[in-house]
């Protein structure tokens, strides 16, 4: 920029330089004190003596001071003047000579004149000497005339030069002013320049920062570009997918249209169906009403049937011979078929026992005595758990209908009571006993009845009565295996309902929960068994299920307990062992068992004979079960029999006991136990 635009400062300088030669040209002007001044003075002295005289002393010096740059051309050598002189007309030359002569004539010595030495008059001869050829030395007038002309010429030039000088001075002032202005301007510009430089530096710094930023951005741009590429690829893929989806959408729309058409058709159908449904609902309500009536009728008839069958029933179950046990002699136990032939369920059992004492006395082996018993049902050894349950399912149904039910398992130890009630060992579902089967049946029937508006709830408890003390088999934690802290109490004063204090009553609603409870009871029995040997066989296990049913719509309620009792072993005390060491405790146990079992027998018999006094309170077992025995309650007793000949005596006792509690009494020989 600087090279293109010339700064005003430089312009001024250039002007000054341009003008300088002029000044230099003027520098040729005589300087004060130079020899030239002297020459002029000399000239003035020579040319204008008259003026000197008129102005007086000092005027000459004053003039010299005011006219320092007097006629330049005076430097012209005399030869020049001489060369110019011939050009002048002669007349003029004559006149000049006359003027000089006049001056010389009127010349008086001034104050300076006296100072002039006589030698000074020798100056004119010097001039004269230079122009000897033109003017004769004596032609002073002519010479004077020439000089005057020359002087005039010089004055003219002087004036011109003065004017020029004045102009130059003006120009110089102007230039100086300009220079001052330009100086100020320069300072301003310099300030501006420094500011601009600072700005430029700052700009540079910013530029550096910006370039770093630019680099960073470029890097990011490159990554963004690769990302963009990826995205573009992805976009392509998505576009492809979108096209596919659009096609599918079209298809779906077509199908939707078809569906909508079908829907409108269906809606009409729905409307007609709604009408139909309303009619059906009315019909259903009517049928519901009828169903309820039928259900109530079913309950009534069911109960009637159960009552006809007998509120007290006895089933006999003979377990199979177990592996490792001696095979009983053929015909030891017989199961005569019913009047309907072999397909008729058996209700009779015959036991053959040879009386050794009679044979020994006569010496001839006595023929075995046949003991026939008749029960409501007899299950020979091959009968399965399901077959047994089928027979009692109706009784379980009675419990759901609101009738208390008691099912006992009676028999000597090892005859299959626990197997019948709880089931066999292992996980085989075929081996499941009455308790899990009965509960499963109850849950399923309750579920069915819920559609008719019935809601059922079940609460289970499981206690053991040993030696006339009650123990909770569902106890957990620190109470596990402990016993004797439970008591049978009425729920409240004046209430008929009984409860076992400190025993757990657990709500159950599914098979899994019942399984868990049976498992817990088995564990509790195992803990007790280590403390007292085979205690379980000498205790009664009572599983109680409180059933509560409600029909909220009709304000109906029904509730009854279902009791499943695994009785203690009915075997009598071996007389040979009764008085042995340590047998006193066992004797007491056996007496307690026999007492409670005989009390049970007495209670049942009193009930079947409809006696006014029923001795419930004579044992803990009958006391606990008093609300489930008698009245509308249904009772079923399983008499479990061992198939072994060695147990014939105990089997006979069990059969006799069971026959006694059965109504009507069996036709076979009956002997009271003990």
206-207-209-210 Cα dihedral, nearest 10 degrees: 110
Stretch that binds ligand ADP, among 318-326, 360-368, 555-563, 578-586 (CB under 6 A): 318-326
Among 319, 377, 441, 662, binds ligand ADP (CB under 6 A): 319
324 is in an annotated binding site: no
Residue/partner pairs of 318-323 with CB below 8 Å, 24 or more apart: 318/349, 318/378, 318/379, 318/380, 318/381, 318/640, 318/641, 318/642, 318/643, 319/381, 319/415, 319/416, 319/419, 319/640, 319/641, 319/642, 319/643, 320/381, 320/382, 320/643, 321/381, 321/643, 321/644
Largest CA distance in the chain: 234
Q: Which does 411 bind (CB under 5 to 8 A by kind): ligand ADP, Mg ion, none?
A: ligand ADP
Tokens of 575: 């007389």
Helix axis angle for 123-130 and 35-47, nearest 10°, is 90
455 is in an annotated binding site: no
Q: CB nearer to ligand ADP: give 89 or 324.
A: 324
Stretch that binds Mg ion, among 10-18, 418-426, 439-447, 664-672 (CB under 5 A): 418-426
Q: Are 571 and 415 in contact (CB under 8 A)?
A: no
Q: Which does 37 bind (CB under 5 to 8 A by kind): Mg ion, ligand ADP, none?
A: none
Q: Which does 320 bind (CB under 5 to 8 A by kind): ligand ADP, Mg ion, none?
A: ligand ADP
Count of Cβ atoms closer than 10 Å to residue 60 Cβ: 19
Minimum Å gap between C-beta 640 and ligand ADP is 6
555 is in an annotated binding site: no
Q: Which does 368 bind (CB under 5 to 8 A by kind): Mg ion, ligand ADP, none?
A: none
Whole-number Å distance between alpha carbons of 335 and 240: 84
Q: Which does 414 bind (CB under 5 to 8 A by kind): Mg ion, ligand ADP, none?
A: ligand ADP
Whole-number Å distance between alpha carbons of 388 and 390: 5
Among 74, 347, 418, 647, binds Mg ion (CB under 5 A): 418
413 is in an annotated binding site: yes
Q: Which residue is nearest to ligand ADP (CB)?
A: 416
Whole-number Å distance between alpha carbons of 283 and 289: 10
417 is in an annotated binding site: yes
415 is in an annotated binding site: yes
Q: CB nearer to ligand ADP: give 320 or 484.
A: 320
Whole-number Å distance between alpha carbons of 603 and 600: 5
φ, ψ dihedrals at 560, nearest 5°: -160, 150
User: What's the DSSP call for residue 34?
Assistant: S
Q: Residues 401-430 vs ligand ADP: string with x where CB under 6 A?
A: ----------x-xxxxxxx----x------
Q: CB nearer to ligand ADP: give 323 or 340.
A: 323
Whole-number Å distance between alpha carbons of 294 and 127: 182
Q: Residues 621-650 vs ligand ADP: string with x where CB under 6 A?
A: -------------------x----------
Minimum Å gap between C-beta 479 and ligand ADP is 25
Q: How many residues bind ligand ADP (CB under 6 A)?
A: 14
HSE-CB of 420 using CA atoms within 13 angstroms: 37
Q: Which residues are annotated as a binding site?
A: 411-418
Q: Which residues are annotated as a binding site for ATP?
A: 411-418
Binding site for ligand ADP (CB under 6 A): 319-320, 322, 411, 413-419, 424, 537, 640
């Amino acid at each position: 920029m600087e090279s293109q635009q010339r700064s005003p400062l430089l312009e001024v300088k250039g002007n000054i330089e341009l003008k300088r030669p002029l000044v230099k040209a003027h520098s040729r002007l005589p300087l004060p004190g130079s020899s030239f001044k002297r020459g002029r003075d000399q000239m003035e002295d020579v040319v204008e003596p008259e003026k000197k005289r008129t102005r007086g002393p000092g005027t000459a010096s004053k003039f010299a001071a005011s006219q320092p740059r007097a006629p330049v051309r005076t430097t012209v050598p005399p030869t020049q003047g001489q060369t110019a002189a011939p050009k002048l007309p002669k007349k003029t030359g004559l006149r000049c000579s006359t003027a000089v002569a006049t001056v010389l004539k009127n010349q008086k010595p001034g104050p300076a004149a006296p100072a002039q030495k006589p030698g000074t008059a020798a100056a004119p001869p010097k001039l004269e000497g230079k122009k000897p050829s033109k003017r004769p030395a004596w032609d002073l007038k002519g010479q004077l005339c020439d000089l005057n002309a020359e002087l005039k010429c010089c004055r003219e030039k002087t004036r011109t030069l003065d004017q020029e000088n004045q102009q130059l001075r003006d120009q110089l002032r102007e230039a100086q002013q300009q220079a001052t202005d330009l100086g100020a301007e320069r300072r301003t510009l310099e300030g501006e320049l420094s500011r601009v430089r600072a700005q430029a530096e700052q700009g540079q710094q910013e530029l550096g920062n910006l370039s770093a930023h630019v680099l960073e951005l470029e890097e990011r741009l490159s990554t963004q570009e690769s990302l963009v590429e990826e995205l573009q690829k992805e976009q392509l893929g998505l576009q492809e997918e979108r096209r596919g989806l659009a096609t599918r959408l079209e298809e779906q729309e077509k199908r939707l249209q078809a569906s909508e058409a079908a829907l409108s058709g269906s809606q009409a159908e729905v409307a007609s169906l709604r009408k139909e449904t309303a009619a059906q609902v009315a019909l259903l309500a009517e049928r519901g009403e009828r169903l309820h009536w039928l259900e109530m009728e079913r309950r009534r008839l069911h109960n009637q049937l159960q009552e006809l069958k007998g509120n007290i029933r006895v089933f006999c179950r003979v377990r199979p011979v177990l592996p490792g046990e001696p095979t009983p002699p053929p015909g030891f136990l017989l199961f005569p078929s019913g009047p309907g032939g072999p397909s008729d369920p058996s209700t009779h059992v015959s036991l053959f026992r040879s009386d050794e004492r009679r044979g020994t006395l006569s010496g001839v082996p006595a023929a075995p005595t046949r003991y026939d018993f008749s029960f409501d049902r007899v299950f020979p050894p091959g009968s399965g758990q399901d077959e047994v349950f089928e027979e009692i399912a109706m009784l379980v149904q009675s419990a759901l209908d609101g009738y208390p039910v008691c099912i006992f398992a009676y028999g000597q130890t090892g005859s299959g009571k626990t197997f019948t009630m709880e089931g066999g060992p292992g996980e085989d579902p075929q081996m499941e006993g009455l308790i899990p089967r009965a509960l499963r049946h109850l849950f399923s029937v309750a579920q069915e009845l819920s559609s008719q508006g019935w809601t059922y709830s079940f609460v289970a408890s499981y206690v053991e009565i040993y030696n006339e003390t009650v123990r909770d088999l569902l106890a957990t934690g620190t109470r596990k295996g402990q016993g004797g802290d439970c008591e049978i109490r009425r729920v409240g004063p004046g209430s008929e309902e009984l409860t076992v204090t400190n025993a757990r009553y657990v709500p159950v609603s599914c098979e899994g929960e019942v399984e868990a409870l049976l498992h817990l009871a088995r564990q509790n029995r195992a803990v007790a068994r280590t403390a007292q040997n085979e205690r379980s066989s000498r205790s009664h296990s009572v599983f109680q299920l409180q059933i509560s049913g409600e029909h909220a719509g009709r304000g109906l309620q029904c509730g009854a307990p279902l009791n499943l009792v695994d009785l203690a072993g009915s075997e009598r005390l071996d007389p040979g062992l009764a008085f042995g060491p340590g047998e006193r405790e066992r004797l007491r146990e056996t007496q307690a068992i026999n007492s409670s079992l005989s009390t049970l027998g007495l209670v049942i018999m009193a009930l079947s004979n409809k006696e006014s006094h029923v001795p419930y309170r004579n044992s803990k077992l009958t006391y606990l079960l008093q609300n489930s025995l008698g009245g509308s309650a249904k009772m079923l007793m399983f008499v479990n029999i061992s198939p072994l000949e060695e147990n014939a005596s105990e089997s006979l006792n069990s059969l006799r006991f069971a026959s006694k509690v059965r109504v009507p009494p069996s036709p076979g020989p009956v002997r009271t136990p003990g």
